Amino acid sequence: MKDLYEKADILMEALPYIQRLWGKHVVVKYGGSAMKDEKIIHTIMQDVTLLKYVGVNPIVIHGGGPEINRMLEKLSIKSDFHNGTRITSAETMEVVEMVLAGKVNKNVVSMINSMGAKAIGLSGKDANLIKAKKKISADGVDLGFVGEVVSINTKLLLELTSTGYIPVIAPVGFGDDGNSYNINADTVAGEIAAAVKAEKLMFLTDVDGVRMNPEDKDTLISIIEVDHIYRLIEQKVIKGGMIPKVMGCIKSIEQGVSKTHIVDGTLPHSIILEIFTDKGIGTMVTA
Amino acid sequence: MKDLYEKADILMEALPYIQRLWGKHVVVKYGGSAMKDEKIIHTIMQDVTLLKYVGVNPIVIHGGGPEINRMLEKLSIKSDFHNGTRITSAETMEVVEMVLAGKVNKNVVSMINSMGAKAIGLSGKDANLIKAKKKISADGVDLGFVGEVVSINTKLLLELTSTGYIPVIAPVGFGDDGNSYNINADTVAGEIAAAVKAEKLMFLTDVDGVRMNPEDKDTLISIIEVDHIYRLIEQKVIKGGMIPKVMGCIKSIEQGVSKTHIVDGTLPHSIILEIFTDKGIGTMVTA
Amino acid sequence: MKDLYEKADILMEALPYIQRLWGKHVVVKYGGSAMKDEKIIHTIMQDVTLLKYVGVNPIVIHGGGPEINRMLEKLSIKSDFHNGTRITSAETMEVVEMVLAGKVNKNVVSMINSMGAKAIGLSGKDANLIKAKKKISADGVDLGFVGEVVSINTKLLLELTSTGYIPVIAPVGFGDDGNSYNINADTVAGEIAAAVKAEKLMFLTDVDGVRMNPEDKDTLISIIEVDHIYRLIEQKVIKGGMIPKVMGCIKSIEQGVSKTHIVDGTLPHSIILEIFTDKGIGTMVTA
Amino acid sequence: MKDLYEKADILMEALPYIQRLWGKHVVVKYGGSAMKDEKIIHTIMQDVTLLKYVGVNPIVIHGGGPEINRMLEKLSIKSDFHNGTRITSAETMEVVEMVLAGKVNKNVVSMINSMGAKAIGLSGKDANLIKAKKKISADGVDLGFVGEVVSINTKLLLELTSTGYIPVIAPVGFGDDGNSYNINADTVAGEIAAAVKAEKLMFLTDVDGVRMNPEDKDTLISIIEVDHIYRLIEQKVIKGGMIPKVMGCIKSIEQGVSKTHIVDGTLPHSIILEIFTDKGIGTMVTA
Amino acid sequence: MKDLYEKADILMEALPYIQRLWGKHVVVKYGGSAMKDEKIIHTIMQDVTLLKYVGVNPIVIHGGGPEINRMLEKLSIKSDFHNGTRITSAETMEVVEMVLAGKVNKNVVSMINSMGAKAIGLSGKDANLIKAKKKISADGVDLGFVGEVVSINTKLLLELTSTGYIPVIAPVGFGDDGNSYNINADTVAGEIAAAVKAEKLMFLTDVDGVRMNPEDKDTLISIIEVDHIYRLIEQKVIKGGMIPKVMGCIKSIEQGVSKTHIVDGTLPHSIILEIFTDKGIGTMVTA
Amino acid sequence: MKDLYEKADILMEALPYIQRLWGKHVVVKYGGSAMKDEKIIHTIMQDVTLLKYVGVNPIVIHGGGPEINRMLEKLSIKSDFHNGTRITSAETMEVVEMVLAGKVNKNVVSMINSMGAKAIGLSGKDANLIKAKKKISADGVDLGFVGEVVSINTKLLLELTSTGYIPVIAPVGFGDDGNSYNINADTVAGEIAAAVKAEKLMFLTDVDGVRMNPEDKDTLISIIEVDHIYRLIEQKVIKGGMIPKVMGCIKSIEQGVSKTHIVDGTLPHSIILEIFTDKGIGTMVTA
């Protein structure tokens, strides 16, 4: 019986969070290194399905680096990186698009559908969802078909979410020049969250959030304000690979997203544990 | 961490039940002896609120015997019972209606509202929700203003639930003769569940369901079919006060309700524990 | 035949008034001393029904002083008044709410329904219709659970009137502190009229309006502007109990109600006679 | 004061009739000999406007014989009649259409509009409202461009009435052969009443209805059933010009119109006096 | 085969124009001298029908001078002109209205309907489409019932076009004084184009547009800006009867119409040739 | 000028076809051998765009054999055919899906979008558009992941077409077993045409239709009934590769599609030339 009461308490713990998010959009960026274990991906997609059923409107943006690498390798196409960005030749772009829009995207879609929700896969080309243009690198290096977002077709997304669908988006943009562009998935997630005025933007990565002491799990910060982040960067508490992550959160907040989260996507059910429990499991960044 | 995974598992245990009930009506009859402990009532209303937020349409029918007795006593009005039914004089009826529609009903409504849902209290008079007529006792005893249901204004209920409201209903009927009628709350709940083609009708009582051995808690039957009930009645396994309860369940199923439940309403969160856990805590009757 | 032409003329006299009010809200405050004669109440509810059928949206706010007094007396609860306001103990409040929401309200509702319209009874608790807080008396006397209006759930009222219902409202408010509050019905009517941007607010009282000479029926003023009222108060033409009545009218006009009326509710059909005849029978206050 | 109560009573007398007709269609055929006195036409159009404002959907079909005659005379076009039907040459048809659709129709429309309703004038050509074909006379006489109804564009009428307009219809049909056809206005009214499933069809003529003794005003029959009419025809009580009138009523009832009325359109306000008073002023034919 | 490719090319030539006009309003003024040849009128109405089917919302305003003259002559009514405007006596006005609204209007309507579109004929009286007042001539000459536009019932037009109808409008206005007014059809077309914020206003006349050399067909100007027109007037290139035509175009552009066209309506299919071909056949005036 | 009249005539030739197809669905199967010349593909997508703009609802199903072959070759995956069907290993299926859904599909989508319409690319996985199961070969050969259609999500297609989108569909099905299935594109087109009750199903192939004499272009049959086809097969006039094509047409007609067309997709604008010209360029099969 005690067991049952705990069950009830846990469901009730979720209620105020459901109420606050009801009818709102939650954008989930998932991919890359966090996307390794099939079983865990499965729990993540269950979370997305649960969100939809309790009245929240999730939108998923996925990456797909490892899958792209595997295919490039099979095709013996070499691909260099510059400051963490893949230099994208026409030949590479073709593979990137094919793998993202034709493989990873459809896998995510079918996984969600098999749980009883209705997902629709989209690339930036569908109804001009993501208009893009060539990204000019600050240091003059030609990155090829690496793009940046010019505009988002918000109307399409709102039509789909309000009709009951979960949009699953591959971060491929489409230029007025007729070219496809490879865009950083975090950036796409941020732009889409801003476009739909999302209540939450969640980055599912392979770290558990911002820690006061990177070596110590127990120093994880559950909630942090933008100002505080800047201070921690100055104090070199936040450093290295964590800096672009928190800067992405800050940018989205500046674009009108209410809250951004950095969560460890290698843990099962990381979305609902972060959203529907009092303590959460990652770091939430607020204005 | 183990703790967190258990939380996630419990939320996930609810998902398939949410999916099955999504957009459907669940009628909850709550009252009388089950309605004693303020704190527990509070958890029941939380359950109702959670149901609404996860896409289910709850409708609450309440009783109010103890409150009525208290007021009759204060007013020194004597009230006799005949086979468990209150013989209802005009003077008594006035008190019954006042207490049910003006006190108990509004208390339930405000309790739900304070949790963030939107409840609207109704008696059978509102938009002719429950048209009634005098009930003729089988044995010829005049029960006074005790009534039976003639018709339900289903349209009103569907309008309210589809606009986001939770109807909370006092079991007072209104006759073409201009009189108010005192109707058994279980009966009203059954008629309303049939009218809205409810997926579930839950009777929150002070017993935990049907037991193979009434003395032994562990012999509780989680799911039982109508045929089986009849056999158990013949075998005198089901007897006494349990008989009208299961017969009410059977009648509702015959009227088109999919599933009826007998649940112990003196336990906290008995609604969601019955609905959203695999095992449940009471007895579910199915065709 | 002459008779028939008179009938036609009277119906036609109403036409321009119907056209002007079509689709607009008319708030009717009815109660207290005006609510004595069953037969006359009946004609008033017929008027409300007619309004609905000719395309106007009536909302009724009722009082219930005499009924409350009767019940308090039966229960031997003493209740004092301070400057015309009932000092409301917790015990009294329970009775006030029960009588207003459970008895008077349902009587008005069923009377209207029996004429073929669809009324729904509401107290301030239903969907948080009237949020209230404790009223602090100017002279420091603790009035108990006497409240003032904090906010009105206008959306609920507009949903109901546009779906064809006539809201009938008991002047009981609901506080964030979980308490019920007894609010002056005239005040509630004024706030509701302002909330729905009513075209008319009608106070059905036991006087026939403002008279130049209070002793002389024939000096009744049919239409008066706010400025004129102030002058008449200065000149002591308007005095005594009439002052709060006209001040209520003025306050509503300042809140955006187009026209307020003081009408003798002890006369049969006083609503339509005031609204649908050229001369009217009471006093209309305009900006 | 007595005067006022009479006013109220007359308004209340109308209430049950308004309730019964609310949201239903009433087709009014007006024309020919009844359409002489400008002042009386004015009262008839006031009646139509009142109907619209109290929630009824009126549709007006007009004739125009006298106006047509006047214009034919001015143009020195001779026009013969055969059994009461105008033999319609091409030249005559041009005048008939021009006068009906361009003059009488627009006069009726502007009269109604000037009272605050929104009328739209239509001929059978507008959106193919009345498809027609040449009428073959029983006795082989060629009637020229005299037509009969092939079909009615019901959708157009329902769109207009539900958007708040009053259709005013000239009885000119349009053939697949590209010709205009002159159709009997009573027939058009009957077909339109059947098409929109009208609750009432009112023929405004120059007689006051069916009398038991044609010479005696006081023998007017207020309500008569179809069977009774047949008996009265056999008994020669109904005879002469009254026969086609009552047969028109019977035909409409057979086509699904609930009630048809023969009313004296030379009396002011004959529509509302027939509809909204208990006794009426003409004869109502029912199944 | 070459033939077929040419067909495809011509259809494709239309595509960008269809895209640009899709969902927009195009007002066509047709009449007077351009309206002589039945066969050509037929092609014009085909054009209007095609417009509707490819997603454009056409509205037709027609004149009818020649028909009016013919009828006035038959009736021996003399009618004088003052600076090109018909001095309109009451007797003349009656004929003007009858011919325009009862004859020309219905002919245009039935021609369009016979091609499979749904036209509805309207005069200014229908639902007060064109409210008018007496026009005061600059030189003090009393023009009789010649009017100018006071207001347009835009709502009616938008309701009809969005429900799939093509409004066909006779330029007769209706005054608050109860009189009909004869209004210049070009003026009505301009006011209606402005009211519905038309994308295009097309004047179908008997000239082919603005020419640099009036004698030389080959000097036709396809597109001209307002400023350029003023210069050409100064330079006396535009002169005589062309001046009021171009000034009408300019006025409409100032009222918010995007583009106005002067097109030769005596040529078959002049509407679609001007709109759907790259070169057009008339003169388009733009801001 | 003669030139212009020809233009008008060609546009007018299209009008009756537009009227007949207005609001209806036209399913276009395009692919394989017909999909070689970029310029011609471009004209086909222009045709699809034109269809959408003139009120028709096109749905495109594409193949992609050549692209798949190219990629399989690059990846050195061998792929055998059995009776014209590709034996599809898991490895091959991965490539098939990636190329169809991630490359060909998005190319078609972006080509249509660049012409101003709004296309959305879908595979069978999106919202479970095409549920499939393993196809059991008649002769017992295991074809691997070759599937057949179990069900179509018609609701999704109707939602998209009615909101203004053009669905572009890759013929990949999704099984309840979690596998992707390679389905014949002609079959998918037929099932989708049947599901949306298409007015037309067009197979764009590399032949020009059914010829009486396969060697003689001029013996092309423009319209043929199903019965006639069976006779021609018996007479060996239709033989070889044409048989499955006409049988596909017949099957669709039996499933409720009104008309099916075999058209030469290697010709520019073959869709509109077949649909919008009197003679057409291919063979139309009707019941």
Q: Which residue, among F68, F183, F92, has the nearest Cα to F129 in the 3D structure? A: F183
Q: Taking the complete model, does pTM exceed 0.90, yes or no?
A: yes
DSSP labels, C243-263: HHHHHHHHHHHHTT-SEEEEE
Closest CA to F206 of F12, F26, F29: F29
Count of pairs with CB atoms under 8 A, one residue in B, one in C? 96
Indicate the residue of B97, B128, B180 with minimum beta-carbon distance to C113: B128
User: Residue F220: which of F179, F191, F263 has the closest Cα?
Assistant: F263
* DSSP line for chain F: -HHHHHHHHHHHHHHHHHHHHTT-EEEEEE-GGG---HHHHHHHHHHHHHHHHTT-EEEEEE--HHHHHHHHHHTT----EETTEEPB-HHHHHHHHHHIIIIIHHHHHHHHHTTT--EEEEETTGGG-EEEEEPPPTT----BSBEEEEEE-HHHHHHHHHTT-EEEEE-EEEETTS-EEE--HHHHHHHHHHHTT-SEEEEEESS-S-BSSTT-GGGB-SEEEHHHHHHHHHTTSS-TTHHHHHHHHHHHHHTT-SEEEEEETTSTTHHHHHHHSSS-SSEEEE-
User: Do the chains contact at C276 and D11, CB–CB below 8 Å?
Assistant: yes
Bridge partners of A180?
A174
DSSP 8-class letter at B258: S
Paired strand residues for A203? A29, A262
Q: Express as a percent the part of chain E with pLDDT over 70.
A: 100
pLDDT at F3 over 90: no
Specify the pLDDT at position E77: 95
Q: Which residues of D touch C (CB under 8 A)?
A: 4-8, 10-16, 18-19, 22, 43, 46, 49-50, 53-55, 115-116, 268-269, 272-273, 276-277, 281
Chain A: closest CA distance from residue F43 (Å)? 16
Which one is predicted more confidently, A50 or D140?
A50
CA dist., res. F282 & res. F58, Å (int) = 19
Sheet of B57-62: strands edge to edge? B119-123, B166-170, B57-62, B25-30, B200-205, B259-264, B283-286, B223-225
For chain E, the domains span 61-184
CB-CB under 8 Å, D50 with C18: yes
Subunit contact C180:B113, Cβ cutoff 8 A: no
Tens of pLDDT, residue by residue over D75-119, are 999 989 998 889 999 999 999 999 999 999 999 999 999 999 999
Interface test with E, best of F3, F6, F15 (most E CBs within 10 A): F15
DSSP letters, A101-129, are IIIIHHHHHHHHHTTT--EEEEETTGGG-
**At B42, is the pLDDT very low, low, confident or very high (cuts 50, 70, 90)?**
very high
- Smallest CA–CA distance, residue F125 to chain A, in Å, is 6
The pLDDT score that the predictor gives to residue A1 is 67
The pLDDT value recorded for residue F79 is 85
Asked if E182 contacts E172 with a C-beta cutoff of 8 angstroms, the reply is: yes
Q: Residue E110: closest CA among chain D residues belongs to which residue?
A: D125
Instruction: Write out chain E residues lying below 8 Å of D117, CB-based.
Output: none
**Structure token pair of residue E49:** 């029908």
Minimum distance, in Å, between the CA of residue E118 and any CA atom of chain D: 5
The pLDDT-based confidence of B249 (bands split at 50, 70, 90) is: very high
Residue reference for tokens 């112990």 = B264
Q: Return the residue of F nearest to A123 by Cα.
A: F106
Contact criterion met (CB < 8 Å) for E8 and F272 = yes
CB contact burial F13-22 (16+ within 10 A = b; e otherwise): bbbebbbebb
pLDDT at F106: 96
CA atoms within 13 A on the CB side of E23: 4
Average pLDDT of span B109-123: 96
Q: Select the residue of B97, B109, B172 nearest C125 (Cβ to Cβ).
A: B109
Q: A103, F97: Cβ pair inside 8 Å?
A: yes
E and F touch per CB criterion (3+ pairs under 8 A): yes
Taking phi first (over 0 means left), then psi (-120 to 50 degrees means alpha), and beta for anything else, what does residue E84 get? Answer: left
3-state secondary structure of A276: helix
User: Chain C residues within 8 A (CB-CB) of chain B?
Assistant: 74-75, 94, 97-103, 105-106, 109-110, 113-114, 118-123, 125-128, 156, 159, 163, 165, 172, 174, 178, 180
Nearest alpha carbon to residue B237 among B220, B212, B215 = B212
Cα four-point dihedral sign D226, D228, D230, D233: negative
Are A10 and B10 an interchain contact pair (Cβ–Cβ within 8 Å)? yes
The tens digit of pLDDT for each residue in B152-203 reads: 999 999 999 999 999 999 999 999 999 999 999 999 999 999 999 999 999 9
Q: How far is CA C161 from CA C26, C66, C119, in A?
A: 11, 29, 10
CA distance E251 to E190: 8
Pairwise CB contact (< 8 Å): C7 & D273: yes
- Taking one residue from A and the other from F, the number of pairs with CB-CB distance under 8 angstroms is 97
Q: Which helix (H) or strand (E) holds A89?
A: none
**Number of neighbouring beta carbons within 10 Å of residue A207:** 21
Contact F116 E19 (CB under 8 A): yes
Distance (Å) from the alpha carbon of E75 to chain F's nearest alpha carbon: 41
Closest by Cα among C173, C191, C175, C184 to C83? C184
SS3 C5: helix
Question: Strand, coil or helix: what is C46?
Answer: helix
- Residue pLDDT tens, chain C, 287 long: 678 888 899 999 999 999 999 999 999 999 877 777 889 999 999 999 999 999 999 999 999 888 999 999 999 999 899 988 899 999 999 999 999 999 999 999 999 999 999 999 999 999 999 999 999 988 889 999 999 999 999 999 999 999 999 999 999 999 999 999 999 999 999 999 999 999 999 999 988 899 998 889 899 999 999 999 999 999 999 988 888 889 989 999 999 999 999 999 999 999 999 999 888 899 999 99
Interface ipTM:
0.93
Instruction: Kindly give the parts of chain A with pLDDT less than 70.
Output: 1
Identify whether the C-beta of residue E145 lies closer than 8 Å to the C-beta of residue E79.
no
Contact D15 C53 (CB under 8 A): yes
DSSP string, D1-45: -HHHHHHHHHHHHHHHHHHHHTT-EEEEEE-GGG---HHHHHHHH
Interface test with B, best of A5, A6, A10, A11 (most B CBs within 10 A): A11
The predicted model gives F57-62 an average pLDDT of 98
Contact of chains C and E by CB distance (3 or more pairs under 8 angstroms): no
Contact list, B122 vs chain C (CB under 8 Å): 120-121
Q: Which chains border F (3 or more CB–CB pairs < 8 Å)?
A: A, E
CA C66 – CA D250 distance, rounded (Å): 58
Instruction: Work out the angle at residue A76's Cα, subtended by the Cα atoms of residues A72 and A81, and round it to the nearest 5 degrees.
Output: 55
Give the pLDDT of residue B252.
Answer: 92
- Cβ distance F8 to E54 less than 8 Å, yes or no, reads no
What are the chain F neighbours of A125 within 8 Å (beta carbons)? Answer: 106, 109-110, 113, 121
**CB-closest option in A7, A22, A281 to B10:** A7
CB contact under 8 A, C11 and D55: no
The closest CB to that of E125, out of D75, D109, D172, belongs to: D109
Is residue B35 very low, low, confident or very high in pLDDT (cuts 50, 70, 90)? confident
**pLDDT score recorded for residue F99:** 97
Chain E residues within 8 A of D180 when measuring between CB atoms:
106, 110
Average pLDDT, chain F: 93
Specify the amino acid at residue E219.
Answer: T
E173-181: average pLDDT: 95
What integer pLDDT is reported at residue B53 of this predicted model? Answer: 96
B106: closest CA of chain C, how far (Å): 7
Nearest to E53 among F18, F43, F269 (CB): F18
Identify whether the C-beta of residue E23 lies closer than 8 Å to the C-beta of residue E164: no
Kindly report, residue by residue over E85-111, the tens digit of the pLDDT.
Answer: 899 999 999 999 999 999 999 999 999
Task: State how far residue E10 is from chain F, nearest Cα, in angstroms.
Answer: 6
Is A16 in contact with B116 (Cβ distance < 8 A)?
yes
Read off the pLDDT band of F279 (50, 70, 90): confident
Q: Backbone phi, then psi, for D13, in 5-degree steps?
A: -60, -30
Residue to mutate among A45, A52, A53, with most B CBs inside 10 A, is A53
Mark out chain E residues that contact chain D at CB-CB < 8 A. Answer: 74-75, 94, 97-103, 105-106, 109-110, 113-114, 118-123, 125-128, 156, 159, 163, 165, 172, 174, 178, 180
Q: Which helix (H) or strand (E) holds A23?
A: none
pLDDT band at D278 (very low <50, low <70, confident <90, very high): confident
Please tell me which of the candidates B11, B269, B276 has its beta carbon nearest to residue A276.
Answer: B11
Element (H, E) at B54: none
**What is the least distance, in Å, from the CA of F241 to any CA of chain A?**
31
Residue E215 has pLDDT above 90, yes or no: no
DSSP secondary structure code for residue C198 in this structure: -
- Three-state DSSP class for residue C4: helix
What value does the CA radius of gyration of chain A take, rounded to a whole number of Å? 19
pLDDT at B144: 95
pLDDT range class, residue B254, cuts 50, 70, 90: very high
- Specify burial of residue D129 (Cβ count, 10 A radius: 0-12, 13-18, 19+): buried
Answer CATH for D61-184 from 3.60.21.10, 3.30.465.10, 3.40.1160.10, 3.40.50.2000 = 3.40.1160.10
List chain D residues with CB under 8 Å of C10. Answer: 6-7, 10-11
The answer to whether A99 contacts F98, with C-beta atoms less than 8 Å apart, is yes
User: Distance between CA atoms of F281 and F274, rounded to whole angstroms?
Assistant: 5
Which subunits have 3 or more CB–CB pairs within 8 Å of chain C?
Answer: B, D
